[in-house]
Amino acid sequence: MNINATLLGQTLAFVLFVAICWRYVWPPIIAIMEEREKRISDGLEAAKKANDSLEEAKLNYEAELDKAKSESADIVEKANQRASQIISEAKTKAEAEAEKIIASANKNLEAEINKTKEALRKDVSEIIVSTTEKILGDEISQEKHEKIISEAAQKI
């Protein structure tokens, strides 16, 4: 191998090129790479925190959803109980009203029966008086009439 001036010049130029690169080019490249590495690391850390926050939010969401479901079930249960209570109260009121109506109807019926019995007694007593007059041939006095009616009423 021959070492000549060209080889020495190329070696000197290469060494000078490496020294310039080492002094002026390499430090900014390293700084940019370190900054980029730091941004990537920060981004990954932020992504991890966001993922953790997302998981926590999911857990909170599920807890709130379960709570809302249980509250809605309680509300529905209370509404059903209230509806049953309202129905029961309405049924009780309706039964009481029906009993009042039946009692009133019974009283009216009783009054009508008594009125009809009294009218029937009157009619029967008039028939008896007129028949008795025809049989006896004379008229019965008012006192006798009252006495006959009261005796007939007691028998009926």
Q: Can you give the pLDDT at residue 122? A: 82
Residue carrying structure tokens 């028949």: 131
pLDDT in tens, the chain (156 residues): 567 888 888 999 999 999 999 999 999 999 999 999 999 999 999 999 999 999 999 999 999 999 999 999 999 999 999 999 999 999 999 999 999 999 999 999 999 998 998 888 888 777 777 777 766 655 667 777 777 777 777 766
The model carries a pTM of 0.43
State the Cα–Cα distance between residues 110 and 38, nearest whole angstrom: 105
State the Cα–Cα distance between residues 140 and 144, nearest whole angstrom: 6
* Structural tokens at position 126: 């008039």
**Dihedral angle over CA of 29, 34, 35, 36, nearest 10:** 90
Q: Can you give the pLDDT at residue 31? A: 95
Q: Can you give the pLDDT at residue 132? A: 72
Q: Can you give the pLDDT at residue 123? A: 82
Q: Can you give the pLDDT at residue 13? A: 95
State the Cα–Cα distance between residues 43 and 40, nearest whole angstrom: 5
